[in-house]
Structure 1
Amino acid sequence: MRLNLQNRFLLPTLGLVILGTVILTFVSYDRSKQAIEQAAKEQMALVLGATRNNIDATLNVFKTLISGWTDETLFQAAAQAPPDSQSAASASLQMADLVKKYPYFERLNIANKEGVIVTSTNPKLITVNINDRVYFKEGMQGKVNISDVIVSKATNKPVAMVSAPLKEDGKVVGVLSGAINLGNFEKAYLDPVKMGKGGYLFMVDAKEGVALTHPDKSMIFKLKLNEHDFGRRILAEKAGNINYTFNGENKIAAFASLKEIKCILIVNAAVDELLAAAQRIKWINLALSASMVLIVGLVIFLLARSTTKPIGRAVDSLLECAEQVGSASTQVAAASQQLAVGSSQQAASLEETSASLEELSSMAQGNSDNASQANILMTDTGRIVDRANTSMAALTESMREISQASGETAKIVKTIDEIAFQTNLLALNAAVEAARAGEAGAGFAVVADEVRNLAMRAAEAAKNTAELIEGTVTKVKGGSELVDQTSQAFSQAAASAGKAKDLVAEIAAASHEQALGVGQINKAIIEMDRVVQRNAANSEQSAGASQELNSQAEMMKGLVGDLVSVVGSVNQKNGFRRKKPVQEQPLPLLLEK
């Protein structure tokens, strides 16, 4: 969340003030709490010390009294007399007077050296044997002592027994003991102590932490500290301070051990009650802190408001200028982008045209080169056709001569055939004549027969040769006709080749002129493309500059918006709304050669 200038002054300052006051309040509360707890602990220690001293002093007095009373000869005599003796009765009356005079004593007893109570202010105890009690054994050993707290056999209440030896001529003849009712100590020394409304002082034994006195009488002998963590700590430390929770209530306690009896005094108080004053101080401090925060916030609000109004008016003016600059730069950027796009498209078209013209120029140049080559080839072809035409004429003449020679050869063969026919006739006649001559003409007949055969074979060969020559003559005539036709075709081809040569020469000249023209057009297109490329580049730079100007304007509006969010604009009717910047259109890449 963006904060305006007013809130930037107001909120951190209020935050610091609130933080400071809260810290001060809780530090004050914590210090007050610690001070109150320390004062309570010190007060508990004083109360505990005074109570312990009073109880120990009282117990010492009781020891002194018991020790002094053992000098009474009546008590010494009663310890050696039977329970129903006059000495025992007299001693009982005197002890009753002492109990009335010193009400802390629940009763007084005199036991003989066997441990049998011979007289007592409580008649029920007469003849009870107490030789198992520690205080009796200590007395028989000549010691004055106070026993641990025990349960009275007569009243079932906690008592402490003070005992001293009864001596006659330096020998222990019995024990005088007095039962001190702890209830009297509770009324005299413990009940008057109050720590607030719920705090109190009570006594437990030092072994198991059994409650010997307690404001709640049902807790006596039932509450045992060794069953609780805090109680075990009290029994272990014997003296000190402790914070603990009992029955869901937070408490603070001080404790100390008595010197004369094995008991611990514990004084406690409810923490919530002790800290009530600290709680009141905390809430008072919080109320004062809230008032201070309201006052400081109001002062800062008024000061910040008076400071931000002029800045807000300046911000509104700056915002209006930024809007105008942004609008103008947006229009310029859009126009520049369109111009750049058009120039780029035109440059691309010219580039394509230039490429096509270059290809056409290349093709025209190729055609010109091919036409030149064709012209050269046609010239060569004309010369070859002329030579072929001359050769065909010579061939035609040769064919005529061959045909004439074949005719002459046919005549010769015909002559040979006629000679063979005549020879055959002569041979036949010779054979006839030989036959007529008989045996004399037998040899001649054979020769004539062989001549006839030779004549027939010569005639057959002449016939075959004539047929071959005739066929050859026929083919030679056909060949002569073909040669004549070929010669005529070659003559026509030569004429056509001449004409083609002339046409190819004209095409070659025209192609050369066309290649020169296309080259000039290509140069012009290339120059035009360069100009369009420069225009497109300039348009792109112009568009980039316009976009940069628009970006700067948008940045300016953004800064104004930040300033508005800081100080808050006073012109709320127009408000400030940051416009989206004009989206930059990607420009086509300029084609490069």
Structure 2
Amino acid sequence: MKCNLREKFLFPISALIIVGMGISMAVAYISSTNAVEQTIKDQLSQIVTLTVQSLESWIKEAEADVTSWSETPIYATAVPNSLEAASARAAAAVELAKLQRNYDCYERIHLINASGDVIASSSAESAIANLAESPYFQQALSGKLTLSDVEKSDISGKPVFMIAAPVKGQDQILGVLIGVVSLEQFGQKFIDPVKVGDTGYAYVFRRDGVVVAHPKKENILTLNVTDYDFGKKMIGQSHAVIAYDWEGVHKLVAFQRLETTGWTIGAGAATREMLAPIYHMAYINSGVAGLVIVVLIAFIVALVRSIVTPLQRIVTIANAIGDGDMQQEISIVRYDEIGILAEAMRRMVANLNAAVQVAGQIANGDMTVVVPVRSERDALGKALTAMTIKLRDIIRDVKVAAENVASGSQFMSSGSEELSQGATEQAAAAEQASSSMEEMAANICQNAENARQTEMIATKAAQDAHDSGQAVAETVLAIKEIARKVQIIEELARQTRMLSLNATIEAAKAQEFGKGFGVVAAEVRALAERSQSAASEITNLADASVKIAEVAGERLRTLVPDIRKTAELVQEISAATSEQERGTGQINTAIQQLDQVIQQNATASEEMASTSEELASQAEHLQGVIEFFKIQNNQESVPPQHSIPNPMAARLHAKIAHLKHPNDVISPKNGGNGHAHVPQPVFTKFIEGGDDALDEGFERY
């Protein structure tokens, strides 16, 4: 986050003051609060201790009263079952009533025999059940002074407890004297008067947590502290000081348990009431601290403003100077560090104005200006001096270079025109050569196609001749097989003829009976003779066919190698033709590429000619611009060390002179083939630079 100087001063110092005051107030508040709380705890503990002592004293007095009463002889006389005891019981009742009137803390007093029956009472209206099973009665009957727990009175409904003392006569226990003590009297004397703050109070509860004494009477015998968390803590301890919340109010309570009775006395108070003076003092301290902080911040603001306002003025002037406004005036007059800063700014503005004047003279073309250097650390003055010296040298060199560029561009323009014309003529020759190569390539392609077809026909003829030879061989074998079969038929015909002769003989022997058989035998003989004659003719034809087929097969076997040789020769011709076709294609591609290069060279030469003309125009313009600067009185004279040679004209002439005209024809008698000689496109090397060292001269500027 960006902050100005006022914020950097104001915020940290204000925060430091506020934090320091806050910490000191917090420490004071916490210390005071802790001290007051400890005082409250001590006060509550002291109140509880005093109340416990009062309760113990009050109980002891009551125990002493009941003990002294039990030793009265009339009570010992009234206990036994006798005529004398009956009259004594009336006197005992009168005495007990008198005691109750004199001691208002007793609700009633009873004289009970060993069977647990009441035989005399301070109040005739009170009826009491048999107490034989009561623990405190049994303990008293055993000879011990006994104190019962707090109970609700059957007569008044108020909390009471019983003090039972044994009644003795003739070294034996005859009965028990019981004093029913009202705890309300103790509460009125020792609990109700206790006030801690405005709302703090004391109270008593028995072992099970039931409250038996309380300033609010409606809580007696109805409120049980074990229903609350703080009450459970109190039941579990004999004495302590604990904090708890009661009906939304933070409280402290000190308590202590009576070991003799098991009752617990507690005294509590609201913390806020006890700390009210501390809170009031904290409010006062906060107001005073706020007032002090406001005064300190106002003083700091005034102090910071006295520093920041002139600094802001100086910053405004510095920004204006940074934006180029040198007409600023610094009117701050002080005798502290800010005044020193203002005086330094005035000197800086004056020096910058002087530098601006020098720069203005240089901008007007006056390179004879002298830059003042104010000290060894004047980096701006030294830089301006070095800049003017360097500009003088550069302007001289630029003048010379502009003249060289102007002259060189003229030579370059004429050379580019010659190169363009030569490249155009070379492109025409390359176009003719490309057309011829395309025609030759088409013829070679047709020859290659014919050779491939001839190759296919020769290969097929060789295969057909080979197949025919195999067919003739198979035919010879078939004819030989036919001849062998015909010989078998001829043999069958001969045997048939022999059989027919035998049949004729037998028919002659049979005379009349064999006439029909003789006719058949004659027909069979005739058929056998014809079959034999046909078989002989077939055999002769088969022999002749075999001889003819053997001759044909021999001729086919002689013809097949020749046909195969012819097919191989045709394949070689086809391969050579294909290779020739690829070669002519490559030559045609090369000529086309050459044509493209020549076209590019022609275009480049035309562009170079146009560029040369533009360069000449720019050089003339540059010369006019350079004339704006004034270097010295003898500015026209150029020192020898800054002169730049002009080899451009000679170099251009050398590059153009060796080019051959594309129409020059080399005659066959001189070793040529009569075709036009296509010169190598040297213009490509020219525009690429080659070893042209003149480029370095251009790159310098």
TM-score normalised per structure 1: 0.57
- Please give the per-residue CA displacement for 1:436-485, whole angstroms capped at 9, x wherever unaligned: xxxxxxxxxxxxxxxxxxxxxxxxxxxxxxxxxxxxxxxxxxxxxxxxxx
Match of 1:581 in 2: none
User: How big is the shift at 1:230?
Assistant: 1.5
Contact 2:664 2:677 in 1 (8 A): no
Match of 1:40 in 2: 40
Match of 1:233 in 2: 233
CA separation of 1:275/1:516 partners in 2, compared to 1, >3 Å: closer, same or farther? closer
User: How big is the shift at 1:89?
Assistant: 1.9
Match of 1:177 in 2: 178
Match of 1:382 in 2: none
Quick one: distance in 2 between partners of 1:128 and 1:82? 22
User: Residue 280 of structure 1 aligns to a residue in which SS?
Assistant: helix
Residues 166-175 or 221-230, more deviating: 221-230
Match of 2:138 in 1: 137
1:534 equivalent in alignment to 2:695: no
User: How big is the shift at 1:510?
Assistant: 11
Quick one: distance in 2 between partners of 1:5 and 1:502? 88
CA separation of 1:236/1:529 partners in 2, compared to 1, >3 Å: closer, same or farther? same
- Please give the per-residue CA displacement for 1:244-279, whole angstroms capped at 9, x wherever unaligned: 122232221111112332211111111221222222
Q: AA paired with 2:95?
A: Q
User: Residue 80 of structure 1 aligns to a residue in which SS?
Assistant: coil
CA separation of 1:123/1:501 partners in 2, compared to 1, >3 Å: closer, same or farther? closer
CA separation of 1:140/1:530 partners in 2, compared to 1, >3 Å: closer, same or farther? same
Quick one: distance in 2 between partners of 1:280 and 1:291? 17
Match of 1:378 in 2: none
Quick one: distance in 2 between partners of 1:282 and 1:82? 80
Quick one: distance in 2 between partners of 1:520 and 1:220? 126
Match of 1:257 in 2: 257
1:286 equivalent in alignment to 2:286: yes
Residues 349-364 of structure 1 mapped to structure 2, 5 A cutoff: none
- Please give the per-residue CA displacement for 1:313-371, whole angstroms capped at 9, x wherever unaligned: 33223222211199999xx9xxxxxxxxxxxxx9xxx9xx99x97xx69x97x969x99
- Please give the per-residue CA displacement for 1:284-336, whole angstroms capped at 9, x wherever unaligned: 2211221111011011111111122332233223222211199999xx9xxxx
User: Residue 2 of structure 1 aligns to a residue in which SS?
Assistant: coil
Q: AA paired with 1:534?
A: R
User: Residue 110 of structure 2 aligns to a residue in which SS?
Assistant: strand
User: Residue 237 of structure 1 aligns to a residue in which SS?
Assistant: coil
Match of 1:73 in 2: 73
Residues 536-555 of structure 1 mapped to structure 2, 5 A cutoff: none
Match of 1:386 in 2: none
CA separation of 1:508/1:528 partners in 2, compared to 1, >3 Å: closer, same or farther? farther
Match of 2:656 in 1: none
CA separation of 1:285/1:71 partners in 2, compared to 1, >3 Å: closer, same or farther? same
- Please give the per-residue CA displacement for 1:496-527, whole angstroms capped at 9, x wherever unaligned: xxxx9994259999998x98999788869955
Match of 1:381 in 2: none
Quick one: distance in 1 between partners of 2:697 and 2:677? 32
- Equivalenced residue count is 383
Residues 21-30 or 145-154, more deviating: 21-30
Residues 279-318 of structure 1 mapped to structure 2, 5 A cutoff: 279-318=279-318
Q: AA paired with 2:30?
A: D
Quick one: distance in 2 between partners of 1:291 and 1:137? 76
CA separation of 1:189/1:502 partners in 2, compared to 1, >3 Å: closer, same or farther? closer
User: Residue 85 of structure 1 aligns to a residue in which SS?
Assistant: helix
TM-score normalised per structure 2: 0.49
Match of 1:116 in 2: 117
User: How big is the shift at 1:23?
Assistant: 2.5
User: How big is the shift at 1:34?
Assistant: 1.9
User: How big is the shift at 1:51?
Assistant: 0.6
User: How big is the shift at 1:30?
Assistant: 2.4
User: Residue 323 of structure 2 aligns to a residue in which SS?
Assistant: helix
Residues 162-241 of structure 1 mapped to structure 2, 5 A cutoff: 162-207=163-208, 209-241=209-241
Q: AA paired with 1:307?
A: I
User: Residue 199 of structure 2 aligns to a residue in which SS?
Assistant: coil
Contact 1:113 1:174 in 2 (8 A): yes
Contact 1:78 1:87 in 2 (8 A): yes
Quick one: distance in 2 between partners of 1:502 and 1:136? 161
User: Residue 125 of structure 1 aligns to a residue in which SS?
Assistant: coil
User: Residue 504 of structure 1 aligns to a residue in which SS?
Assistant: coil
- Please give the per-residue CA displacement for 1:57-106, whole angstroms capped at 9, x wherever unaligned: 11112212211222210111122257993212212222233223322222
CA separation of 1:82/1:325 partners in 2, compared to 1, >3 Å: closer, same or farther? farther
1:268 equivalent in alignment to 2:434: no
1:56 equivalent in alignment to 2:56: yes
Match of 1:155 in 2: 156
CA separation of 1:10/1:153 partners in 2, compared to 1, >3 Å: closer, same or farther? same
User: Residue 174 of structure 2 aligns to a residue in which SS?
Assistant: strand
Q: AA paired with 2:280?
A: R
User: Residue 272 of structure 2 aligns to a residue in which SS?
Assistant: helix
Q: Identify which of structures 1 and 2 has the higher relative contact order when contacts are C-alpha pairs closer than 8 Å and 6+ apart.
A: 1
Quick one: distance in 2 between partners of 1:158 and 1:521? 130
What is the root-mean-square deviation of aligned Cα atoms in Å?
A: 4.1
Quick one: distance in 2 between partners of 1:302 and 1:181? 77
User: Residue 186 of structure 1 aligns to a residue in which SS?
Assistant: helix
User: Residue 63 of structure 2 aligns to a residue in which SS?
Assistant: helix
User: How big is the shift at 1:56?
Assistant: 0.4
Q: AA paired with 1:213?
A: A
1:504 equivalent in alignment to 2:665: yes
CA separation of 1:52/1:8 partners in 2, compared to 1, >3 Å: closer, same or farther? same
Match of 1:449 in 2: none
User: How big is the shift at 1:109?
Assistant: 1.2
CA separation of 1:181/1:528 partners in 2, compared to 1, >3 Å: closer, same or farther? same
Q: AA paired with 1:146?
A: L
CA separation of 1:147/1:505 partners in 2, compared to 1, >3 Å: closer, same or farther? same
CA separation of 1:32/1:274 partners in 2, compared to 1, >3 Å: closer, same or farther? same
User: How big is the shift at 1:529?
Assistant: 4.3
Contact 1:118 1:126 in 2 (8 A): no
Contact 2:162 2:180 in 1 (8 A): yes
User: Residue 189 of structure 1 aligns to a residue in which SS?
Assistant: helix
Contact 1:44 1:267 in 2 (8 A): yes
Contact 1:149 1:261 in 2 (8 A): no
User: How big is the shift at 1:531?
Assistant: 3.8
Quick one: distance in 1 between partners of 2:295 and 2:675? 107
CA separation of 1:43/1:521 partners in 2, compared to 1, >3 Å: closer, same or farther? closer
CA separation of 1:503/1:145 partners in 2, compared to 1, >3 Å: closer, same or farther? closer
Quick one: distance in 1 between partners of 2:169 and 2:90? 20
User: Residue 155 of structure 1 aligns to a residue in which SS?
Assistant: coil
Contact 2:97 2:123 in 1 (8 A): no
User: How big is the shift at 1:239?
Assistant: 1.6
Q: AA paired with 1:106?
A: E
Q: AA paired with 1:253?
A: V
Task: Structure 2: give runs of 5+ residues left out of the alignment.
Answer: 327-351, 363-404, 434-660, 668-673
CA separation of 1:95/1:311 partners in 2, compared to 1, >3 Å: closer, same or farther? same
